[in-house]
């Protein structure tokens, strides 16, 4: 009898370690992706109409230019649930080694919500803990990683907040590595998009969130994980990023999607159900790819600027300067492509407002004017125009040399 009981326990243990993990808190809410997509097609009267969505806050940004293609309460502070784990993963990736082996603490093992299912004393690599964090949204893995990297949950939260400050996320604050509800744990849709863009530039993070399924090892036993992101593998161009749900945050979804030259991040926060967050995300993604087209803005601007320089640089004078040899460039123009509403793609207007008289000394990188780019009726971009050459003020020797040159020139003309 004891032998039979032992055998049953053994079989159950093997089953637990080899079965697929489903760890999102809201994983019990099953959805039919194809049905949702068909509903959107049938109920959408015009794909050019701005979508009506259920989510309390949302944003779509272009990764290349950081232009906002859609926004709804995008600067409103909100709870973020497990989308927190985007920051958790980045802090871990920038401060830990993937092969390191972590021994799971009692605190980590007892963390509730969505879990990987690790136990006190289990041994698992940082690499595999990150799969548990990003694929099945394990809160237990978040705590284990926080303790390993930051010494404690509190210490790790400090590291998260320092990283947020480094990225200029002034409306974001972290208390935990997993995102369970806390009034002092919040972000905005906009800042979450900026963080996600930064994270996706990390190749390792990119590969994690683009993974549909993966088999990890806990104490040497295999366990297959499947990504909770319902859009990954189901919607054209989607390559990440992260799901989330708590009672306070409701359903959240961060999605990255690339088709052609248009690469976007779509975020929905505070949807009433998993179905709504899926619907909202699809609506916004399809709206942007249907209505926006990428233009080579760098070529358009460079052509205009070169033409302007040919016609205007010789008109600029530097009073008391050793020369008038000015050249210019644009400040902070460091991308090539820009998404524009198809309605306005042929209505691009550029205007340059520049001073023509300066007094020496004129330092390099001094702002001497501005360029404004308007697409349609909207002013979308403004760049400072900078002088590229140092022009010193004339000294006594310069004036004497100039006087002699003028004198000999006069003599040559009178003889």
Q: Give me the helices (H) in 50-116, please.
A: 85-95, 106-109
**The one catalytic residue among 55, 82, 256, 281:** 82
Q: From CA 35, how far away is CA 40, in angstroms rounded?
A: 9
Task: Give the whole-number percent of the chain exceeding pLDDT 90.
Answer: 70
Residues 284 and 325 grouped into a single domain: no
User: What's the pLDDT tens digit per position in 43-72?
Assistant: 555 677 899 999 999 999 999 999 999 999
264 and 357 within one domain: no
pLDDT at 126 over 90: yes
Beta strand pairing call for 317-319 and 357-359:
parallel
- Give the CATH number, domain containing residue 283: 3.40.710.10
Average pLDDT on 300-328 reads 89
What is the DSSP annotation of 196-226?
HHHHHTSHHHHHHHT-SEEEEEETTEEEEEE
Residue 124, helix vs strand vs coil? strand
Instruction: Please say if the pLDDT value at position 376 is more than 60.
Output: yes
Is 309 a catalytic site residue? no
Q: Is the pLDDT of residue 26 over 50?
A: no
pLDDT of residue 326: 87
> Looking at the structure, do residues 344 and 241 belong to the same domain, yes or no?
no
Q: Both 132 and 211 in a single domain?
A: yes
| CATH number of the domain encompassing residue 357 | 2.60.410.10
- Quick check: is 386 in a domain? yes
35: exposed, middle or buried (Cβ count in 10 Å: 0-12, 13-18, 19+): exposed
Q: Is the pLDDT of residue 20 over 50?
A: no
- Evaluate whether 128 touches 21 at the Cβ level (below 8 Å): no
Domain boundary among 293, 325, 354: 293
* Catalytic residue (choose from 79, 85, 163, 274): 85
Residue 138 · residue 112 · CB < 8 Å:
no
Question: Do 283 and 320 share a domain, yes or no?
Answer: no
Whether 3 is in a domain gets the answer: no
Tell whether 154 and 67 lie within a shared domain: yes
Residue 40 has a pLDDT of 63
In angstroms and rounded to an integer, the radius of gyration of the C-alpha atoms of the chain is 29
| pLDDT at res. 398 | 62
Q: What is the pLDDT of residue 14?
A: 40
Which has the higher per-residue pLDDT, 7 or 365? Answer: 365
* Residue among 55, 105, 114, 137 flagged as catalytic: 137
H or E element that contains 132: helix 126-134
Are both 274 and 336 inside the same structural domain? no
Please state, in angstroms and rounded to a whole number, the distance separating the CA atoms of residues 177 and 44. Answer: 39
65 within 8 A of 335, measured Cβ to Cβ: yes
CB within 8 Å of 380: residues ≥ 6 apart = 67, 373, 374
Q: Which residue has the tokens 């049938």?
A: 42
| pLDDT above 80 for 218 | yes
Are 87 and 144 members of one domain?
yes
Q: Residue 286 is encoded by which pair of tokens? A: 């399809």
In a domain, 76, yes or no: yes
Structure tokens at 295: 């233009």
Residue at 211 is within a domain: yes
Residue 15 domain-assigned (yes or no): no
Q: Give the dihedral of Cα atoms 167, 171, 177, 178; nearest 10 deg.
A: -130
Query: Is the domain of 62 the same as that of 165?
Result: yes
Query: How many folded domains does the chain comprise?
Result: 2
In this predicted structure, the answer to whether residue 313 has a pLDDT above a threshold of 80 is yes
Write down the pLDDT at residue 9.
Answer: 44
If you average pLDDT over residues 298-309, what whole number do you get? 93
- Is the residue at 219 inside a domain? yes
Instruction: Evaluate if residue 37 carries a pLDDT over 90.
Output: no
Residues 110 and 250 in one domain: yes
In a domain, 164, yes or no: yes
Shared-domain flag, residues 289 and 329:
no
Indicate if the pLDDT at residue 357 is higher than 60: yes
Structure tokens given for 136:
């099945």
Can you give the pLDDT at residue 402? 64
Q: What pLDDT is stored for residue 323 in this prediction?
A: 81
Q: Is the pLDDT of residue 3 over 70?
A: no
The 10s digit of each residue's pLDDT in 149-163 is 999 999 999 999 999
Give the tokens for residue 134: 């990003």
The mean per-residue pLDDT over the stretch 327-342 comes to 89
Q: Residue with structure tokens 């004497």? A: 400
242 is catalytic: no
**pLDDT tens digits, residue range 236-284?**
999 999 999 999 999 999 999 999 999 999 999 999 999 999 999 999 9
Who has greater pLDDT, 337 or 25?
Answer: 337
For residue 269, the enclosing domain spans 22-293
Give the pLDDT band of residue 12 (cuts 50, 70, 90). very low
Q: Where are the alpha helices (DSSP H) in 335-383?
A: none
Q: For the residues 331-355, what does the mean pLDDT come to? A: 88
Element (H, E) at 42: helix 33-43
The 10s digit of each residue's pLDDT in 175-216 is 999 999 999 999 999 999 999 999 999 999 999 999 999 999
Whether 408 is covered by a domain: the verdict is no
62 and 134 assigned to the same domain? yes
pLDDT category of residue 13 using cuts at 50, 70 and 90: very low
What is the pLDDT, as a whole number, of residue 16? 40
Contact 150, 115 (CB under 8 A): no
114 is catalytic: no
Q: So what's the pLDDT on residue 380?
A: 79
pLDDT band at 400, cuts 50/70/90? low
Q: 188-192, 223-227, 285-289, 389-393: which range is least confident on average?
A: 389-393
Tokens 């040899």 -> residue: 325
């Amino acid at each position: 009898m004891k032998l039979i009981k032992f055998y049953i326990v053994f079989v159950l243990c093997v089953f637990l370690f080899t079965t697929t993990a489903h760890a999102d808190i809201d994983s019990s809410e099953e959805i039919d992706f194809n049905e949702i997509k068909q509903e959107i097609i049938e109920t959408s009267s015009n794909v050019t109409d701005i979508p009506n969505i259920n989510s309390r806050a949302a944003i779509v940004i272009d990764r290349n230019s950081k232009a906002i293609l859609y926004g709804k309460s995008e600067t409103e502070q909100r709870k973020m649930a497990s989308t927190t784990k985007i920051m958790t993963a980045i802090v871990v990736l920038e401060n830990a080694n993937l092969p390191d082996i972590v021994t799971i603490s009692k605190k980590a093992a007892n963390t509730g919500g969505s879990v990987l299912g690790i136990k006190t004393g289990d041994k698992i690599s940082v690499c595999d803990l990150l799969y548990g964090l990003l694929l099945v949204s394990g809160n237990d893995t978040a705590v284990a990683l926080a303790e390993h990297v930051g010494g404690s949950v509190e210490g790790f939260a400090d590291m998260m907040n320092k990283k947020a400050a480094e990225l200029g996320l002034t409306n974001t604050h972290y208390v935990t590595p997993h995102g369970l509800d806390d009034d002092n744990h919040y972000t905005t849709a906009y800042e979450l998009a900026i963080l996600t863009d930064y994270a996706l530039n990390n190749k390792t993070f990119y590969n994690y969130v683009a993974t549909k399924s993966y088999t990890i090892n806990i104490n040497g036993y295999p366990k297959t994980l499947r990504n909770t992101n319902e859009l990954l593998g189901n919607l054209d161009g989607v390559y990440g990023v992260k799901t989330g749900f708590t009672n306070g945050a409701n359903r959240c979804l961060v999605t990255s999607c690339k088709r052609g030259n248009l690469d976007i991040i779509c975020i929905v926060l505070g949807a009433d159900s998993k179905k709504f967050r899926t619907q909202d995300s699809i609506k916004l993604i399809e709206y942007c790819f249907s209505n926006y087209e990428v233009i080579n803005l760098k070529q358009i601007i460079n052509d205009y600027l070169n033409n302007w320089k040919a016609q205007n640089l010789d008109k600029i004078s530097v009073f008391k300067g050793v020369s008038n040899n000015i050249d210019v460039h644009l400040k902070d123009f460091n991308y090539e492509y820009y998404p524009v509403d198809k309605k306005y793609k042929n209505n691009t207007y550029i205007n340059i407002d520049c001073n023509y008289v300066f007094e020496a000394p004129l330092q390099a990188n001094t702002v001497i004017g501005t360029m404004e780019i308007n697409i349609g009726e909207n002013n979308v971009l403004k760049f400072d125009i900078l002088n590229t050459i140092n022009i010193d003020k004339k000294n006594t020797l310069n004036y004497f040399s100039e006087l002699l040159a003028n004198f000999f020139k006069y003599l040559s003309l009178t003889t």
